[in-house]
Amino acid sequence: MEKSKLKVGVIFGGLSEEREVSLASGRQAYQLMDRVFFEPVAIYFSREAKFWKIPEALVIRNTCKEIEENLEAKAAIPISYEGLAKEIEFALLTTHGKYGDDGCIQGLLELLGIPYSGSGVLSAALGMDKPMQRKLLKFSPDNINIPEGEVIYKEDWERSKSEIASSLEKKFGFPLVTKPSREGSTLGVKLVKAKGDFDPAMAEAFRFDPSALIEKYLMGREFSCVVMGNKEPAAFLPTETIHNDEIFTYDHKYLPGGSEKVTPMEIDESVIKEIQRQAIAAYKALEAKTFARIDGFVLDSGEVLITDPNSGASTGLGPSSWTFHQASLAGLGPKDFITKLIELGMEAHQGKKGPL
């Protein structure tokens, strides 16, 4: 008797500012999935936090707006939360940003008893919350280097702008970087070169979160390193991101020609090994599962810093993503990589006691 295929729900869309990126990732994962072993089911997660089972005619739409305008016309099927488990046996999460990468949708899937790709509730939340992840990594026994930062809350800033700005200038000097404490895809990140730049930069950070993380501007080379696995994670060869501006922005990340990705990073082998060591250490410290993207800098001094471990659901699954380049160098073609994500996700949820 032929073994039935695993029904894999590819969940994309969502409530965050990154829903269009999620659509690109979801479409890619849906199309790459090996139909010999899996039955892909496209699940659109709307701005109203509702699930819709959609046909392929909607999967290939260019924007989430187009999908939402055609849900009824294309006979999309609304799915209640409790009904999701009747439609899928595994969730391949390609959600991005808040409510998708931060433990929220992971918690819902835990309640519904549906295994999923990526890390569990706590790890995913830590991957989004930069100040909290820094506190954890700082005390790791595995010598993870992190940049010094300071968290400023909106109410404190509004009450004492001048005093706080002077204190930050004294602590970090100029230039420095402001960013939302909890956000993805470099949204809300600004460069502050003088005291007069603080107000608009902080306002931009507070547009996304009630607190902002302030750091010294780092001079060096930016990298991203995928780590994959559960009990014995392994690091791929890292990718260097090259761009012409002073900071890496959302547009650099996703618009054509915004940046150049070099895989593997062209740097001394000893530095590659140190990047991989710290990436695996950060992955373990956050108790990530399936896979994660660990971002950082190689400073001009040669020191390796981990700046942004992304332990959530869907990092780097879009078309032509450097994630697939790194996987290819590790011997995993695109289809095999998606298969491995599903296998590792199923493995991580086997025999667990409580949430992942």
19: tokens are 């829903």
Are residue 240 and residue 280 in the same domain, yes or no? yes
Least confident of 150-154, 295-299, 309-313: 309-313
- The two most distant CA atoms of the chain are separated, in Å, by 73
Are residue 298 and residue 256 in the same domain, yes or no? yes
pLDDT single digits (tens) 173-187: 999 999 999 987 678
**Any domain includes 97:** yes
Are residue 19 and residue 133 in the same domain, yes or no? no
Are residue 162 and residue 194 in the same domain, yes or no? yes
**Any domain includes 325:** no
Are residue 33 and residue 94 in the same domain, yes or no? yes
Phi, psi for 305 (deg, rounded to 5):
-120, 140
Are residue 60 and residue 135 in the same domain, yes or no? no
**Any domain includes 350:** no
Are residue 88 and residue 23 in the same domain, yes or no? yes
pLDDT > 50? residue 252: no
Are residue 134 and residue 259 in the same domain, yes or no? yes
Domain boundary among 186, 216, 246: 216
Q: Which residues contact 300 (CB under 8 A, 6 or more apart)?
A: 219, 220
**Any domain includes 24:** yes
Are residue 93 and residue 73 in the same domain, yes or no? yes
d(CA 202, CA 224): 26
d(CA 118, CA 153): 30
Domain boundary among 172, 188, 216: 216
Whole-model pTM: value is: 0.93
Are residue 41 and residue 90 in the same domain, yes or no? yes
Number of domains in the chain: 3
Are residue 255 and residue 135 in the same domain, yes or no? yes
If you average pLDDT over every residue of the chain, what do you get? Answer: 93
Burial of 189 (0-12, 13-18, 19+ CB in 10 A): buried
pLDDT single digits (tens) 82-123: 999 999 999 999 998 899 999 999 999 999 999 999 999 999
**Domain range enclosing 251:** 127-145+218-312
Are residue 188 and residue 279 in the same domain, yes or no? no
